Structures are given as C-alpha cells and as structure tokens.
Structure 1
Amino acid sequence: MSIDHGVPAPTLKSRIHGALLGGALGDALGYTVEFDSIDEIRQRFGAQGLTGFDGLSSPLHFSDDTQLTLYTVDGLVEALEWANSGVGADVNACLWLAYLRWLATQGEHTGPAAPVPQPRWIDGNEVLRQRRHPDKDCITGLATGEMGTSVRPVNPGAKGAGTVMRSAPFGLIPHITPDAVYKLSADAAALTHGHPAAHQSAGIFSLLIHKLVSGEALRDAAAAVAAHAAALPRVAPELPERLEAALRLAEKAVVGPEELVQVLGAGWMAEEALAVALYAVLATLPADGADARPARHFREAVALAVNHSGGSDTAGSMAGNILGALYGEDCLPGQWLQALEAPEVIRGMAGQLVRVTTGEG
C-alpha cells in the first residue's frame, strides 16, 4: 500500500512517532506567534512570516496543545494496558483521570468529590508541568470535578479548539473501527466542552488521522471526512460548512492569511482550527506526479497553518499531526527536531502507545 505520489507506506510505529512529534513541532512554531496578528508576525519575521526555527532561541517550547495530546496518549495507554491484561476498563474514565492529572500540573484543583488519580510516568516530566496558556474551557471543565458526558456536558456552550487540539491519538490506535475512533474522540471531548461542534470536530479530526494511518491518500481522506461530517445526525452546521470551505479554498492553492481567516475563521473555535489545518496540508500538497518531498511539504504546510491572525499553535499542531500520520517520521525536518524542547518525552509517550498496540519495544 502506498501514500500520495508513490511514497512507500511507513510503519505504524513511524506514523505514531511522526504524528506526535510533528504535532509538537507545529505547535512550537505556532506558539511563537500565537497571540500576534499577521501584521505583527510580518514585522517580526519579514513579508513571508515565520517559516521555520532559524533565528529563534532554542529550545522551542510547545504549548498546552502538546501537553494535552500526550495526556490523551497516557489515558489511552492505561485503558489498553488494562485490556491487554484481560480487564475491561472505561476508556473515557481513564482519559478523565489523565486530564485531571494534567490539571494538577497546571496548579489547578478539583472539588472534593473528584477522584485522586494515581501518578504515572508522564507526570514526572517537568516540561509537562509548565503553564503554557492552557485552554480556559479545559481548565474550567475539569475543575468542576464532574466527569462530563455528551448527554450531561460541563461547559455546555463551549466550542473552542481545546478538543480538536488533543484528539490525534485516537486515530493512531490500530484495529478498531472508524465508528469507534469517532465515538472515543467525541466522548472524550465532552469531558471539557459541551457544544456539539466541539465533540464532532474532535471526532472528525481523529477519523482523518485514522484514515491516513490506514493508508488512505490525503485528498481522499479529506473528502471522506468532510462527507462524513455532513452526514452526522444532528450535526452542528458550522462543521461541514467550514470543512467544505477548506476543500474549496485548497483548490486555489495558497491564499493570503487575510483571505484564510475571512473564509475559514481564525482557528479559535474547534471547527475553524480543523478547517485551517486541513486547508494548510491540502494547499501545499504536491500536485499529482510531482516530486514528493515529505519534509518540504511539512515545512510549507505548517508555515501556512501558523501565519495568520488567529490560533497559530493549534492549527500548526494539527497540521503537524496530519502530516506525521501520513508520512511517518520521514517528514520531520531534522533541524526543527534538534531545536524542539523535550523530544525524549514525546518519544517516550509514542513508545508507550506503540508497545500497547503492537507489542514492539
């Protein structure tokens, strides 16, 4: 099986490492300019904006997007460890406990009714205890001490990007059905965000990652998840609208950051962040028959995802997740990896997910 342009398909191990490291790279680049307007980005970095790590102080920090993505991995790993030992576990409860441990790293506390989770390896890594502008709704939703569900949500109106930014790992689990991927992701989103667009955007993003890990070509997978979103029961209409807009905009190739925000939104909302990331990876995809250079595609897509007046870290992180799942580690620019903080922590969590899903060391 091959991916776009005849590039041999990477192993699952490579895709898992690629998706998690790629997300951290995109997050770190975007976090550098997260709260800057496009005019401010151009003033700092020139007319082309921020296109790489050159000239930036190392190590480059990632944001709460990567922190929560790794805690999602940890929750899934714990559930799979129980399953591998023959004990059924409530996956969403494992994820909730993982997120509560992340909440504690941010200096926040829950009410007395919330359980006290047992520490795990991930909690001992100081880099994950840094407060990196954590998503407000993730904080408030977890701080209630109540385990939110889709039928009894916490933060009922919350539809920010704090759900999609952490949802790539659901798509990295092999041997489960697409429907299961979507449900696991959407259910986990309800732990902190109550709006249907937040749940559905997270589920669709995880489904996209799942399709890429399964070997589908990027354009085919993008079209399929857009169609899936449009057919969801009780779909929040803004989700399929943004996805269709992203597909249409990508046909024009690269547009300016002003048009990007005008058409797709600034990326602060869940469906907007998904649309911006999807547009960025599609608009920079080499044309059929062109030379496929995964690292070049990665650099161009992530730069496009972060250079706008909006949620640069989340769009960059999700674009990196997508391309890492598509190409595996081959797409990760070596110089960027050298400049990233704590890659060993990300590889450590990727290795745990590989171990519980494949048995590899």
Structure 2
Amino acid sequence: MSVQASPAAVPSFESRVHGCLLGGALGDSLGYAVEFEPIEAIRGRYGSAGLTSFGEIDGGSHFSDDTQMTLYTVDGLVDALEWANDGVAADEIACLWLAYLRWLATQDVPVPASAPVPQPRWIDAQEVLRHRRAPGNACLSGLATGEMGTVGRPVNPESKGCGTVMRSAPFGLVPHISREAVYKLSSDAASLTHGHPSARLSAAAFSLLIHNIVADQDIRRAATAALTHINNVPTKAPELAERLETALRLSADQAVLSPEELTATLGEGWVAEEALAVGLYSVLATQGNDPAEHFRNAIAVAINHSGDSDSTGSIAGNILGAFYGEQCLPAEWLSVLEAPEVIRGMADRLLAVTTG
C-alpha cells in the first residue's frame, strides 16, 4: 500500500510549517504515552489495536523532549535568520548550539563554565518547555561537555541515537535554500550532540525529505530523492540506506506490517536510521479517505510497537503535517494538545523571518 494521492488542495507554505510542527507534537504526545512499553503491555492496556486516540490516555496529553528540541531547533534557525535579515552574517551552527544550550538549562543540567552564556529569548520563558520528559542521554551529555561538537571534532563519536532525527524537521522548512544547504545545516547540527555518521546522515535525510515535500513532491518521491542525495555524499552510512530502502519496499505491499514484523525488519527506533525508517514506513503504508484519517492511521502504526514510540510518532507526524498542511490534523486531537500556542508561536516566528 502506498500513499501517492495529493492533498485535496495544495497547502500554503504557512499551513505546511504549522502542520509539520503541530503534527510532530501530536505524534510525539501520543507516542510518549506508551514509550518504553512492549507491544504486549500496550495491547493489554488499550486493546488489540493499541493506543489510537488521546481519549484513551489517563492524565492528559504531554509532549516529550522530541518536541522541545524541535522547537529549539526552530529558535536557533530563527536567531540566525534574524541576524541575516539585519545584514549581519551569523554562524548558523553556533546559533543552534546556543539554542540547544538553552534547552539543556531547561532540563536542570548545569551548563559548563567553559560554554558561552546565551542571551534569553522568547522560547525560554515558556514554562511548558521546562519539564524533563525523558531526554536522550547523548543530547544531554554532548551538550554538557561545553564543547561545540563538529564533524572533525565529534562529541559522542560512537552515538547514533535518534536524538538527531527527531529534532531535524525544521531544517526542511527553511525556504529558498538548496538541498546542499539543507544537508549541511542538518548534518552539522547533528554533530553538536552525536558523532556517528548514521546519526548525522539520518538527520540530513529527514530534513531533505521535509524539504522535498515542501517543494511539492509526493512523500515517496521525496523520500527516494533524499535517499539518492545521501547515497551520493562522501560520508557513508550503509545501515541508513538499507533501512530506508527496506521501508520503501515494504510500504509498497498491500498488507501493513504487524508491530512485531515492523520492529523485526526496521528496528525499534532507538537509533537514528531505525526511527526514520519506522516513521517513513508508517506514513507510506497507510492511507485514508481524507488527510485526517490518514494521519490517525499512520500515527497508530508509528507508535504501537516495542520501541521508541514518541520519536517514530513525531517523525510520522512531521512528514504528514508538511505534506497535507493543517488539514490533516484531527480537530479532537488538537483540542487536547499540550501548549499549542507555544508551538504556533515558534511556527509564526519562523514564518516571520522567512516570508515576512
């Protein structure tokens, strides 16, 4: 089964930006409710279909570090673009590093004395972002070194956790830049916390996928083009190509994989290439009569498995939100989403510096 249908109406760029960030937060929030639970426990609590709606969650809806770091990625990009719009050249990766250091401070992790002291920005005053929601160890430890990780001077050189992928959709939302620029921005930003090639290239592949979708490609074509680009760069991560090729192939089949088959073939999503493959497969293997139905179906596949459910749900939500725009976001889900005004606030700030 494959999603090739175009949206009923081509969404505006504004709708794609809001849809991508809100969609990611919805998938993250639903997945966060079952993160760390094996599929047997998920079925035992929610039934054979697993968790399929927010109405089944006790205790309200909460998004995780995935959405927190995605919004801080937006803020780092906005910071750099504000300088550029004022005619001042800025180091984009340094702006992102400072943004991530400000996120680190929200997690009650001491910022090393050797690190610069970032100036506070609007996002830092949002109390909802100060909760500790199972942040990734590599993100915390990489930033806590106080050293700005680079490709040539990596922090966590062996880490390829999914903490790079789950925060990287915003790089694909910056308009009027080349694929090469998207690749460099996202892979260099991944190096701030993770040093393994697959962590960097998976983040870049995801950003390129979003970039291609925003350029009005269908999801399968966008994914294939992103994979081709990654396969042609000097750095290689063969496990990334293998996982994405498998996701593309399996998603063309008629039957949707069971949760057990999904993790057996694509992985549980704890590492970067697996998280991207599971999120992509979930989107391509499902469909519905309307965008909101497709969104619900895809998120159900993305989160109901014995793996990193919030990250795979977030990635699937980012992809569909970028493709359909806000029309795919179920109204009843949005009504219970945590702090939508903060997510929209960051979307509006990105739009203000990119489109005026």
Q: State if a TM-score over 0.5 links the two structures.
A: yes
Shift of 1:224: 1.6
Structure 1 residue aligned with 2:222: 221
Structure 2 residue aligned with 1:272: 274
Whether contact under 8 Å (2:83, 2:90) holds in the other structure is yes
Kindly report structure 1 stretches of 4+ aligned residues shifted beyond 4 Å: none
Separation of aligned partners in 2, 1:229 and 1:315: 20
Which letter does structure 2 place at the counterpart of 1:215?
A: D
Structure 1 residue aligned with 2:344: 347
Whether contact under 8 Å (1:37, 1:308) holds in the other structure is yes
Which letter does structure 2 place at the counterpart of 1:262?
A: A
Separation of aligned partners in 2, 1:150 and 1:46: 45
3-state DSSP class of the match of 1:54?
A: helix
TM-score normalized by the length of structure 1: 0.96
Which letter does structure 2 place at the counterpart of 1:315?
A: T
Unaligned runs of 5+ in 2: none
Task: Point out the more displaced range, 182-191 or 231-240.
Answer: 231-240
Structure 2 residue aligned with 1:309: 306
Whether contact under 8 Å (1:173, 1:357) holds in the other structure is yes
Task: Point out the more displaced range, 6-15 or 98-107.
Answer: 6-15
Cα deviation per residue 1:42-94 (whole Å; 9 max; x = unaligned)? Answer: 00000000111123236400000000000000000000000001001000000
1:234-313 to 2 correspondences below 5 Å: 234-252=235-253, 253-285=255-287, 291=289, 293-313=290-310
Cα deviation per residue 1:95-124 (whole Å; 9 max; x = unaligned)? Answer: 000000000000001321100101000000
Separation of aligned partners in 2, 1:121 and 1:351: 12
Structure 2 residue aligned with 1:325: 322
Whether contact under 8 Å (2:150, 2:191) holds in the other structure is yes
> Are the structure 2 counterparts of residues 6 and 100 from structure 1 closer, same or farther at C-alpha, using a change threshold of 3 Å?
closer
Structure 2 residue aligned with 1:189: 190
Shift of 1:9: 1.1
Separation of aligned partners in 2, 1:269 and 1:85: 39
Whether contact under 8 Å (1:171, 1:209) holds in the other structure is yes
Shift of 1:6: 5.6
CA RMSD of aligned residues (A): 1.1
TM-score normalized by the length of structure 2: 0.97
Whether contact under 8 Å (1:79, 1:89) holds in the other structure is yes
Which letter does structure 1 place at the counterpart of 2:275?
A: A
Which letter does structure 1 place at the counterpart of 2:199?
A: A
Shift of 1:285: 3.5
> Are the structure 2 counterparts of residues 6 and 188 from structure 1 closer, same or farther at C-alpha, using a change threshold of 3 Å?
closer
Separation of aligned partners in 2, 1:141 and 1:219: 33
1:1-361 to 2 correspondences below 5 Å: 4-5=5-6, 7-57=8-58, 59-252=60-253, 253-285=255-287, 291=289, 293-359=290-356
Shift of 1:233: 1.8
